[in-house]
Amino acid sequence: MNERIRDKTVCQTLEKQGVRCLGYHGELIIAPGQVVTGQGGMFKVFTPFSRAWRQVYLKQVPEPLGMPSKQSNSSSVETVPEDLGWPAELEQKPLNAAHWPVGQDTIHQRLIDFVAEKEKDYKQQRDFPALSGTSKISPYLAIGALSPLQCLQALKVESSDQEWLASTWLNEIIWREFYRHLLVACPNLSRLEPFRPEVESRITWRHNPEGFDAWCRGETGFPIVDAAMKQLLATGWMHNRLRMVVASFLTKLLGVDWRLGAAFFMRHLIDGDFASNLGGWQWASSVGADAAPYFRIFNPQLQSEKFDPDGKFIASWLPQLAAVPVKQRHLPGAGQAYGRPAPIIDYKTARKAALDDYQQQG
Ligand SMILES: Cc1cc2nc3c(=O)[nH]c(=O)nc-3n(C[C@H](O)[C@H](O)[C@H](O)COP(=O)(O)OP(=O)(O)OC[C@H]3O[C@@H](n4cnc5c(N)ncnc54)[C@H](O)[C@@H]3O)c2cc1C
């Protein structure tokens, strides 16, 4: 909201001085406000939004812009981290730059390789964190090194006829558009207010510094949660399935306010994106648009057995578990004999407490 007011003010000021201002929406394929319901409002549910989005796109297919002229080097700005109560030493760790190569050609090649080789299997593979089944282009989209329009163009070039229109991968890019359109339509979301205050008013967030600390460090004793958090801390990225699992764990099983988790993610994610992160956290804690109902609580063990059946992902981030038989790797408290922690909660008790709490408030 403030950014939009800022841009408008800059343009008005420049125009008064005789400078012509032109605005471009490079951050999205379709600008906010152009995908609306029959009544002209914003969609509150994703599926009808995505249908309407496709129709709007087909009516006014945007042409890719040409190559920009060479830019001058910009100077970097140091930012001072705020103390939000998470372990201070986690701030010091530099990311391994090898995970995220830079340079226009390299980044573009990553996109082309994905659409040419992996996009066809995306639907089947995207939920399995041990596989390299997703594009990993989110950091480049987040900083504007790639545009979503480039992604769609690349997909169209690789697809026959209108196959691309039904692509599951495109659908995910439309989720990104959905969350940004929502943010513009509902400016109160920028103030970290929930999309569904009537749901949040039924939830009592708990003061749980020990639980939050264990979650941040990846030391909860729940292997899939801990492996995911170690992946985040080491690479700045986390697989989407696991973002949902760890967000559900923090908000529903530990009872910690989603805003703390969202802030921790924004601090550590290399693809930190205000709208998508906000949307993801509000979805996981059931207070967002088109969110999971509150009673749907992810069971970390079942998620692990289903989406990391060989326990490969877990063992790659928690090497102590490589010595544990695959079936037992998924269990809370697995690998205690090798130095892994005991589970900080009992899943069934925590689940019941979350549901009782929520229902009592209603
Ligand atoms: C709690 C939570 C927090 C999240 N925080 C962020 C964030 O800060 N930044 C961010 O870019 N994404 C966020 N996501 C969405 C998603 O997890 C990532 O976009 C995805 O994992 C990036 O990996 P990828 O590039 O391989 O994605 P792919 O699966 O290859 O998808 C392609 C692109 O589509 C977009 N996309 C995919 N899934 C989603 C989604 N669920 N919501 C919105 N856009 C999506 C991304 O731009 C992604 O790069 C979050 C999800 C959750 C549940």
Task: Give the tokens for residue 45.
Answer: 């549910």
Q: What is the mean pLDDT of residues 164-182?
A: 97
- Domain boundary, last residue among 155, 189, 223: 189
Task: Give the tokens for residue 295.
Answer: 């009673």
Does the residue 271 lie in any domain? yes
Ligand 1 centroid to 266 CA: how many Å? 13
Both 155 and 210 in a single domain? no
Q: Which residues are catalytic?
A: 172, 175, 205, 240, 258, 281
Among 85, 33, 70, 20, CA closest to 215: 85
User: Does ligand 1 lie within 6 Å of residue 277's CB atom?
Assistant: yes
Q: What is the pLDDT of residue 78?
A: 52
Both 234 and 167 in a single domain? no
The span from the CA of 174 to the CA of 254, in Å, is 31
Residue 162 has pLDDT above 90, yes or no: no
Q: What is the pLDDT of residue 81?
A: 47
Q: What is the pLDDT of residue 184?
A: 93
The span from the CA of 255 to the CA of 331, in Å, is 21
Query: Could you report the per-residue pLDDT of 25-36, keeping only the tens digit for each?
Result: 789 999 999 999
* Higher per-residue pLDDT: 101 or 169: 169
Cα dist from 349 to 139, 311, 361, whole Å: 37, 25, 18
Q: What is the mean pLDDT of residues 134-140?
A: 97
Q: What is the pLDDT of residue 79?
A: 53
User: Does ligand 1 lie within 6 Å of residue 141's CB atom?
Assistant: yes
Q: What is the mean pLDDT of residues 285-305?
A: 94
Residue 80 has pLDDT above 70, yes or no: no
Q: Which amino acid is at 69?
A: S
Both 215 and 124 in a single domain? no
Mutate to test the pocket of ligand 1, among 100, 113, 271, 287 (most ligand atoms within 8 A of CB): 271
Query: Could you report the per-residue pLDDT of 335-350, keeping only the tens digit for each?
Result: 999 999 999 999 999 9
Does the residue 74 lie in any domain? no
Query: Could you report the per-residue pLDDT of 238-256, keeping only the tens digit for each?
Result: 999 999 999 999 999 999 9
Contact 185, 36 (CB under 8 A): no
Contact 29, 151 (CB under 8 A): no
Q: What is the pLDDT of residue 25?
A: 79
Both 111 and 132 in a single domain? yes
Does the residue 123 lie in any domain? yes
Mutate to test the pocket of ligand 1, among 126, 276, 286, 296 (most ligand atoms within 8 A of CB): 276
- Domain boundary, last residue among 189, 222, 252: 189
Ligand 1 centroid to 219 CA: how many Å? 24
Both 47 and 96 in a single domain? yes
Both 201 and 95 in a single domain? no
Residue 77 has pLDDT above 60, yes or no: no
Q: What is the pLDDT of residue 24?
A: 77
* Higher per-residue pLDDT: 291 or 343: 343
Q: What is the mean pLDDT of residues 228-234?
A: 96
CATH number of domain containing 314: 1.10.579.10
Q: What is the mean pLDDT of residues 67-77?
A: 66
Contact 259, 212 (CB under 8 A): no
The span from the CA of 281 to the CA of 276, in Å, is 9
User: Which ligand 1 atom sits closest to the C-alpha of 239?
Assistant: 21
Both 162 and 260 in a single domain? no
User: Model confidence at 193, in pLDDT bands (50, 70, 90)?
Assistant: very high
The span from the CA of 300 to the CA of 343, in Å, is 12
Give the rounded percent of residues in the chain with a pLDDT score beyond 70: 94
Both 29 and 122 in a single domain? yes
Both 21 and 114 in a single domain? yes
Average confidence score pLDDT of the chain: 92
Q: What is the mean pLDDT of residues 208-217?
A: 97
Both 213 and 332 in a single domain? yes
CATH number of domain containing 128: 1.25.40.80
Q: What is the pLDDT of residue 62?
A: 77
pTM score above 0.85: yes
Angle at 225 between CA 295 and CA 172, to 5 degrees: 70
Both 117 and 223 in a single domain? no
User: How many domains does the chain contain in total?
Assistant: 2
Q: What is the pLDDT of residue 21?
A: 86
Contact 201, 361 (CB under 8 A): yes
The span from the CA of 260 to the CA of 263, in Å, is 5
User: Does ligand 1 lie within 6 Å of residue 273's CB atom?
Assistant: yes
User: Which ligand 1 atom sits closest to the C-alpha of 135?
Assistant: 30
* Higher per-residue pLDDT: 361 or 353: 353
Does the residue 151 lie in any domain? yes
Cα dist from 285 to 142, 332, 343, whole Å: 23, 22, 22
Both 185 and 229 in a single domain? no
Q: Angle at which helices 240-248 and 274-284 pack, to 10 degrees?
A: 50
Quote the domain boundaries for residue 42.
Answer: 10-65+84-189
- Domain boundary, last residue among 189, 209, 235: 189
